[in-house]
Amino acid sequence: MKLTVFNGSPRGKKSNTAILLEHFLKGFMETEGNSYELEYIVNNKDVGKLIEMFKDANNVILAFPLYTGCMPGIVKSFVESLKPLCGKHGNPSVGFMVQGGFPEAYQSRFVERYLGKLAKRLNCQYLGCIVKGGIEGTRMMPQFMTKKIFNYFYELGKNCGKSGKFDEELLKRLAKPEHLPAWRRLFYKFSRLTGMANIYWDRQLKENNAFEKRFDRPYGD
Amino acid sequence: MKITILNGNPDNQKFDDYLNNLVKMLELSDNRVVHFKLREMKIRHCRGCFGCWLKTPGQCIYKDDSHAICREVINSDFVLFATPLVMGFPSAVLKIAMDKLIPLLLPYIELVDNKECHHEKRYDKEYPLIGLLIEKGDDTDSEDIEIVSDIFVRFAIDFRTSSRFVMQTDIPVQEVSDEINRI
């Protein structure tokens, strides 16, 4: 199976999306004869090349982080550049990977609907959409927790490499929590009271000597 | 009422004409309107660097026109997001500008309605109400409108405000103006 992957993260090679893709692709390559190419959308001056890559691909995965409830602006630009391919025959099958900062998978379900429709628009077979929230937090998670998440991506990749599809059951398990369960909401409120919830941000603010300015309102009150 | 219009029209004149008429009408009924033609502005896309939260809190670290947009938006009573649908979605020109509104929020996260994680407001005031004005494309169907509307409501929750309407440019300008004046 041949796969063409577009990483749509504005952080490019240093993105959480890149890390998740790495694990997915590691699994994908477990099947002999599989190959992939990986391209970054950010700072890519050669839009023509991206369109050609899409057109020539057998299978495409477009991966991106959730930005204000949907795709980042640069990913929308990329989607617009595919307009000439709408309804054409011979377009690749296409799947998506959406990772969010907030923990709930639910927050990505709206753009997921758009992506399913986009596949139809492009006359592409739809492989499905990998959704996972809480990914920004992996930067401060202990290794045993990230290992579990990354392993899901590996398994999804491995499965996809064999079957050419995303495994529905794995998708569902990976996505959890779909919504925050009551105990996590309670825990979250508690950690906010103690200031624990803000540690991730406050530490960086202090490192940048910006902690005192964290509530600044430069454009009025 | 103070109104900001973010015009995400990538090119077509008809859409600009519609908005120019809308601005005139809104001004006639005593609103102060700032109309940003986004395609003519210099806006670097958000790089997800979090500099606007962690280095220069409240401002994008890049000096581009997004600063002027943030200033107007946060001091408005109502913000109209206006765009033709391209590939069944608001234009990239508009989305790039929308991504650059995150300096108006804090990095800190709270549970909204004791349910869902969202960022806290940076400013104390009520955030401007928002509305979406779209022009259908040749390929737009009712499912597209539904998806776009639902995603716009999600955007409103992220921005700690609420969406007042999603309207289409196939109705007379006066109706859109009236709807905004009712807010």
Kindly state the tokens that stand for A136. Answer: 């920004």
Are residues A179 and B115, on separate chains, in Cβ contact within 8 Å? yes
- The residue type found at B52 is C
Interface of A with B in 81-110 (CB under 8 A): 82-83, 86, 102-104, 106-107, 110
Please tell me the predicted confidence (pLDDT) of residue A140. 79
Asked whether B11 and B40 are in contact (CB, 8 A), the reply is no
Please tell me the predicted confidence (pLDDT) of residue A142. 86
Confidence of residue B122 (pLDDT cuts 50, 70, 90): very high
Percent of chain A with pLDDT over 90: 88
Q: Where are the domains of chain A?
A: 2-180, 181-221
The mean pLDDT value for B98-112 works out to 97
The pLDDT tens digits of the residues spanning A153-191 come to 999 999 999 999 999 999 999 999 999 999 999 998 888
C-alpha radius of gyration, chain B, whole number: 16
Please tell me the predicted confidence (pLDDT) of residue A194. 86
Peptide bond into A177 cis (omega under 30): yes
Confidence of residue B179 (pLDDT cuts 50, 70, 90): very high
The mean pLDDT value for A77-105 works out to 96
pTM: 0.97
- Name the residue among B45, B108, B122 with its Cβ closest to that of A217: B122
The mean pLDDT value for A80-105 works out to 96
Helix axis angle, A143-163 to A168-175, nearest 10°: 160
- What is the nearest CA distance from B138 to chain A, expressed in angstroms? 12
Regarding the domain delimited by A2-180, which CATH topology (the fold level of the hierarchy) does it fall under?
Answer: Rossmann fold (3.40.50)
Please tell me the predicted confidence (pLDDT) of residue A87. 85
Neighbour tally for A121: CB within 10 Å: 19
The pLDDT tens digits of the residues spanning A7-26 come to 999 999 999 999 999 999 99
Please tell me the predicted confidence (pLDDT) of residue B128. 98
State the DSSP H helix or E strand holding residue B32, giving kind and residue range, or none if neither.
Answer: strand B32-37
The pLDDT tens digits of the residues spanning A110-123 come to 999 999 999 999 99
Please tell me the predicted confidence (pLDDT) of residue B152. 98
The span from the CA of A128 to the CA of A95, in Å, is: 5
Mean pLDDT, all residues of chain B: 97
Are residues B111 and A180, on separate chains, in Cβ contact within 8 Å? yes
Q: A interface mutation test: which of B41, B94, B116, B134 has the most A CBs within 10 A?
A: B116
The mean pLDDT value for A84-95 works out to 95
The pLDDT tens digits of the residues spanning B4-35 come to 999 999 997 899 999 999 999 999 999 999 99
Are residues B54 and A82, on separate chains, in Cβ contact within 8 Å? no
Mean pLDDT, all residues of chain A: 96
Please tell me the predicted confidence (pLDDT) of residue A193. 85
- Would you call A114 an interface residue with chain B, using a CB distance cutoff of 8 Å? yes
- Would you call A194 an interface residue with chain B, using a CB distance cutoff of 8 Å? no
Interface of B with A in 69-128 (CB under 8 A): 70-71, 74-75, 86-92, 95-99, 101-102, 104, 106-111, 114-118, 122-125
Percent of chain B with pLDDT over 90: 98
* Helices and strands per DSSP (H, E), number in chain A: 8, 5
Interface of B with A in 53-72 (CB under 8 A): 53-59, 70-71
Q: Which domains does chain B have, with CATH numbers?
A: 2-181 (3.40.50.360)
Please tell me the predicted confidence (pLDDT) of residue B131. 98
Please tell me the predicted confidence (pLDDT) of residue A170. 97
Please tell me the predicted confidence (pLDDT) of residue A145. 86
Percent of chain A with pLDDT over 70: 100
Contacts of B132 in chain A (CB under 8 A): none
Are residues A185 and B111, on separate chains, in Cβ contact within 8 Å? yes
Please tell me the predicted confidence (pLDDT) of residue A146. 92
Please tell me the predicted confidence (pLDDT) of residue A197. 84
Mean pLDDT lowest among A72-76, A128-132, A143-147, A212-216: A143-147
Contacts of A221 in chain B (CB under 8 A): 123-125
Please tell me the predicted confidence (pLDDT) of residue A195. 82
